[in-house]
Amino acid sequence: MKKPKVVVLGAGYGGLMTVTRLTKHVGVNEAEITLVNKHNYHYETTWLHEACAGTLHHDRCRYEIKSVINTSRINFVQDTVTGININEKKVTLSNGELEYDYLVIALGAMPETFGIAGLKEYAFSISNINGARQLREHIEYQFATFNNDAEKKKERLSIIVGGAGFTGIEFLGELCNRVPELCREYDIDQKNVRIICVEAAPTVLPGFDPGLVDYAVNYLEGKGVEFKIGTAIKECTPDGIIVSKDDKQEEIKAGTVVWAAGVRGNSIVEEAGFENNRGRVKVNPHLLVEGHDDVFIIGDCSLIINEENNRPYPPTAQIAMQQGVTCAKNIGRLIRGQDNLEEFTPDIKGTVASLGEHNAVGVVYGKNLTGTKASIMKKVIDNRSLFLVGGPGLVLKKGKFKFF
Amino acid sequence: MKKPKVVVLGAGYGGLMTVTRLTKHVGVNEAEITLVNKHNYHYETTWLHEACAGTLHHDRCRYEIKSVINTSRINFVQDTVTGININEKKVTLSNGELEYDYLVIALGAMPETFGIAGLKEYAFSISNINGARQLREHIEYQFATFNNDAEKKKERLSIIVGGAGFTGIEFLGELCNRVPELCREYDIDQKNVRIICVEAAPTVLPGFDPGLVDYAVNYLEGKGVEFKIGTAIKECTPDGIIVSKDDKQEEIKAGTVVWAAGVRGNSIVEEAGFENNRGRVKVNPHLLVEGHDDVFIIGDCSLIINEENNRPYPPTAQIAMQQGVTCAKNIGRLIRGQDNLEEFTPDIKGTVASLGEHNAVGVVYGKNLTGTKASIMKKVIDNRSLFLVGGPGLVLKKGKFKFF
């Protein structure tokens, strides 16, 4: 009898969790498991703001996939997914194709620019290791060039962060720590540097308790961040951005523009023909796509509704990992012909946004936290995701311990 | 009686040596000494190829001027010299002017581009700390960007070095050590990187023994450097360079072009009206400008003829420092009305070109050296220049000791 083929696309939080759990729920002879990923490494998406700012080396934010999977059980294919053919049950890759009996789509998010002109061309995003290295070096190059310009241009040292959501605020926190280092390295008076956060919504960190929002804003403003709230970016140009507030337009020149104001699901999911909303597909409680009992979608490409407020859960690493656990169980049951599939319910343990290395704001088990306590909890959360994927060994190798 | 005013322009090897020796040859009440320099630091011009490549941090290549001069004896003015008025005995600065009774011009060299189109605009040079930091970061940014480009462009990783003289060869040696580090940092296969040295003259390291030249070329070629000898750069463009050999033109695309093929004296010297050759002024044996018994010119702006071959000595740190010693003595004698001025004769102890951290070629006390021995001698030479200016304390602070 032929073993069913399980193909998992993406080795992010969701995909990696799925394959590591699959080897527990599925016997050696029960399935052939293949994991496909563009790179030979997994990276911690939720740590990228640190690599982008240059406060944490990118090698601390990634680890080799083969170091955490059982390679005698899982066939790892390093390749880029170019398409999914649901009818033929095939996945096409840059260098080949794969057939599947069960498919797990865990391809992650892409930046959503909402059609704002110039963002794709001129703004950086916080989305992967290659981009993080480039952004880090781009910022550093602006500082390295400043004193060497015949006519010193202050705007070269301005950094605009589009978006005051979770990622934007965390990136601002890192920048506040990094800029003084860069000023020392390149003999620059910090008065020449501007960090500007532009947010179209009426508030910073939407969804957070107002007390936590105030704490974060006051802290970042104290470090020199200028907030422009209720202000929309109309266009990004090679020289900076054009914003609009109350119908008044203004140009803000800047050497660096970072777009951190939104993500969408993966375009592969749209092209595959699933009913979707910006690349996110509503999945059933078993994490299966409606009408396709062999296709799971988890992580940032999946859409699940929070019944408390009837709005979608935001795409987070926490949910992706929990979905991976359920998905692995359900694949095991499907393979064995069982129909008692587990229903997925997110278990939100907490949400903490860091404000640099030693500060943070957030909610853990329903309790608001700020300052050192929140910062410690943030590191506990970061270490926990390592633990879930790679056990104590990975925590020791890549964990964050230097609390003070 | 008014104390004579001694003004020294430039805190490079020559100027710094002059002021530190002046305080020994001139009493507290005999003269008022002023040192003018653009930055508050001195930098080791002969180490800049390392800072440019990124193999030695630029802070290792510089030290605060006030840390090596006696500030109770020497008035340090941080300002940029904008002109010299010999008739009025005045020096104009960006933010003021200074009168002098004795002037020492030690303003150093500038890159000489021989009128080659585009070099000033698009090529980097190895000439100061600000430029070194920018070049280091420019190269790193090319590597950081490579994997993030939609279409990977190998030429982004090509580095062209114009000139196979002393500086060009030393910079190539550092690049050979730096490139593998950059490839590891940015996940790049080193096969994608090209290091190309273009030299118009028929040989590498002109003036060196052919055996040493062969050693250097073989070593660098073994590390991957491509030499294009007898090849002239016709033009530098934003995309690379256009070269010409035997009337055949060729374009070489490169993300980085570094011009290391020549220096000239300072333009301030030309503008001051001295008879000069590319900013270098022929001085008399006392280091005074002919016809101006109150103006000394030392270092890269001075021209002295080697009577053995009737050609000018190349501008080196070694000669500049020796000139500083003679210059300080002669100022002391002039102030005291003595006419027994010392005649300057260069005492060439050796010339060693480094090939990265652990290799070098050169001549020391007439003996040809290669490999580890030459590399150790190079570091002895580097430490000696620190010792002469700042004594054992400066050697301990900034010296190069890690031989192996």
pLDDT tens digits, B123-151: 999 999 999 999 999 999 999 999 999 89
| pLDDT bracket for residue B262 (50, 70, 90) | confident
How close does chain B come to A138, measured CA to CA in Å?
Answer: 7
pLDDT tens track for A215-257: 999 999 999 999 999 999 999 999 999 999 988 999 999 999 9
Note the pLDDT tens digit of each residue in A337-392: 998 999 999 999 889 999 999 999 999 999 999 999 999 999 999 999 899 999 88
pLDDT of residue B401: 78
Contacts B145 to A, Cβ<8 Å: 134, 137
Residues A271 and A83 sit within 8 Å (Cβ to Cβ): yes
Nearest CA in chain A to B133: A144
**What is the bridge-based pairing of β-strands A292-297 and A302-303?**
unpaired
Residue A138 has its nearest CB partner, among B133, B141, B187, at: B141
The pLDDT confidence band at residue B214, using thresholds 50, 70 and 90, is: very high
d(CA B259, CA B236): 10
Chain A nearest C-alpha distance from B279 (Å): 21
What does the mean pLDDT of chain B come to? 95
Which residues from chain A sit within 8 angstroms of residue B130, using beta carbons?
147-148
Distance CA A15, CA A33 (A): 12
Neighbours of A181 (CB within 10 A): 14
Bridge partners of residue A8, in order along the sequence: A35, A104
Cα atoms in the 13 Å half-sphere on the side-chain side of B186:
30
pLDDT value of position B404? 45
Summarize chain A as % helix, strand, coil (round to 5). 35, 30, 35
Closest partner residue to A130 (CB to CB) among B130, B140, B147 is: B147
Which residue of chain A comes nearest to B182, CA vs CA? A133
Instruction: Please indicate whether, in this complex, the C-beta atoms of A148 and B133 are within 8 angstroms of each other.
Output: yes
Inter-chain contact A133–B141, Cβ cutoff 8 Å?
Answer: no
| DSSP code for B280 | B
Q: How far apart are CA B309 and CA B28, in angstroms?
A: 42
Local structure of B71: helix, strand or coil:
coil
Residue of B nearest to A187 (CA): B130
Please list the active-site residues of B: 170
Chain centroid to CA A77: 22
Task: Measure in Å the smallest separation between the Cα of B119 and chain A Cα atoms.
Answer: 16
Chosen for mutation from B133, B139, B186 (greatest number of chain A CBs closer than 10 Å) is B133
Measured between beta carbons, the chain A residues lying within 8 angstroms of B133 are: 144, 147-148, 185-186
Q: Which residues pair with A227 in a beta bridge?
A: A197
Reading the block at residue A160, the tokens are 């605009």
Mark yes or no for CB contact B137/A144 under 8 Å. yes
Q: Is there a contact between B164 and B201 (Cβ–Cβ < 8 Å)?
A: yes
Residue A2 has a pLDDT of 85
Burial of residue A61, with CB atoms counted within 10 A of its CB: 0-12 exposed, 13-18 middle, 19 or more buried: buried
**Smallest Cα–Cα separation from B124: which of B143, B139, B144?**
B139
Task: List residues of A whose CB lies inside 8 A of any B CB.
Answer: 130-131, 133-134, 136-138, 140-141, 144-145, 147-148, 185-186
Altogether, the residues listed in chain A come to a count of: 404
Give yes or no for a contact between A189 and A224, defined as CB atoms under 8 angstroms apart: no
Cα dihedral A219, A222, A224, A228 sign: positive
With CB atoms and an 8 Å threshold, state whether A130 touches B136: no
Contact A61, A30 (CB under 8 A): no
Domains B5-38+79-111+264-347 and B119-261 share a fold: yes
CA distance B132 to chain A (A): 9
Express each pLDDT in B6-27 by its tens digit: 999 999 999 999 999 999 999 9
> Taking CB atoms and an 8 Å limit, are A144 and B134 in contact across chains?
yes
CB of A146 closer than 8 Å to CB of A106: no
Chain-chain contact of B137 with A130 (C-beta, under 8 angstroms): no
Question: How many Å lie between the alpha carbon of B130 and the closest alpha carbon of chain A?
Answer: 5
Which are the catalytic amino acids of A?
170
Q: Give start and end residues of each alpha helix (H) in A26-86.
A: 48-53
Quick check: helix, strand or coil at residue B339?
A: coil
ipTM: 0.87
Closest partner CB to A186 (pick from B133, B140, B147): B133
Q: How far is B135 from chain A (nearest CA, A)?
A: 8
Domain spanning B5-38+79-111+264-347, CATH architecture: 3-Layer(bba) Sandwich (3.50)
Q: Which of A137, A148, A185 sits opposite B141 (nearest CB)?
A: A137
Name the average pLDDT for chain A.
95
> Using the beta-carbon criterion (under 8 Å), do A137 and B140 form an inter-chain contact?
yes
Helical segments of A26-128, H only: 48-53, 119-122
Determine the residue of chain A that is closest to B125 in CA distance.
A148
Q: Kindly provide the b/e burial profile for residues A201-218, where b requires at least 16 CB atoms within 10 angstroms of the residue's own CB.
A: eeebbeebeeebbebbbe
B257 CA: distance to closest CA in chain A (Å): 16
- For residue B345 the two structure tokens come to 């004769």
The alpha-carbon gap from A118 to the nearest alpha carbon of chain B, in Å, equals 16
Predicted confidence (pLDDT) at residue B400 exceeds the cutoff of 90: no
Per CB-CB distance under 8 Å, the chain B contacts of A189 are: none
Query: Which pLDDT score is estimated for A403?
Result: 47
A134/B140 touch (CB, cutoff 8 Å), yes or no:
no
Is A138 close to B131, i.e. CB distance below 8 A? no
Residue in chain B closest to A148 (alpha carbons) equals: B130
The residue of chain B with its CA nearest to that of A131 is: B148
Say if the Cβ atoms of A131 and B138 lie within 8 Å. Answer: no
A144 vs B133, B186, B187: nearest CB = B133
Distance from C-alpha of A270 to C-alpha of A262, rounded to nearest angstrom: 17
Using the beta-carbon criterion (under 8 Å), do B145 and A136 form an inter-chain contact? Answer: no
- Picking from B138, B147, B186, the nearest residue to A141 by CB comes out as B138
| CB–CB contact B148 A140 (8 Å) | no
CATH number for region A5-38+79-111+264-348: 3.50.50.100
A168: phi then psi, degrees, rounded to nearest 5: -60, -45
Domain boundaries, chain B: 5-38+79-111+264-347, 119-261
A294 class by beta-carbon count within 10 Å (0-12 exposed, 13-18 middle, 19+ buried): middle
**Cα dihedral B112, B116, B117, B118 in deg (nearest 10):** -50
The pair of three-digit structure tokens given for residue B171, joined into one six-digit string: 């910079």
Considering only CB atoms, A148 lies closest to which of B134, B140, B187, namely: B134
pLDDT tens profile A61-98: 999 999 999 999 999 999 999 999 999 999 999 999 99
Interfacial residues of B (vs A; Cβ cutoff 8 Å): 130-131, 133-134, 136-138, 140-141, 144-145, 147-148, 185-187
Mutation pick from B41, B63, B147, B189 vs chain A, by most beta carbons of A within 10 Å, is B147
Contact B148 A134 (CB under 8 A): yes
Least Cα separation, residue A126 to chain B (angstroms): 13
In this model, does residue B300 exceed pLDDT 60? yes
Q: How confident is the model at residue B402 (pLDDT cuts 50, 70, 90)?
A: low
Say yes or no for a CB contact (<8 Å) between A141 and B145.
no
Interface test with A, best of B59, B130, B189 (most A CBs within 10 A): B130
The CATH homologous superfamily for domain B119-261 is: FAD/NAD(P)-binding domain (3.50.50.60)
Say how many Å lie between the first and final Cα of chain B, rounded.
58
Kindly list the residues from chain A whose CB atom is less than 8 angstroms away from the CB atom of residue B136: 144
Q: Return the number of other C-beta atoms located less than 10 Å from residue A72's C-beta.
A: 8
CB nearest A141 (choices: B137, B185, B186) = B137
Nearest CA in chain A to B41: A187
Per-residue pLDDT averaged across B281-310, rounded? Answer: 95
Contacts of B137 in chain A (CB under 8 A): 137, 140-141, 144-145
Instruction: Tell me the per-residue pLDDT of A298-350, one tens digit each, with 9 for 90 and over.
Output: 999 999 999 888 999 999 999 999 999 999 999 999 999 998 999 999 999 88
Q: Which amino acid is at B264?
A: R
Beta-carbon contacts below 8 Å between A and B: 44
Q: What is the pLDDT of residue A401?
A: 78
Given pLDDT bands bounded at 50, 70 and 90, which one contains residue B347?
Answer: very high
* Distance between A134 CA and the closest CA of chain B, angstroms: 5
Alpha carbons B261 and B63: distance in angstroms, whole number:
27
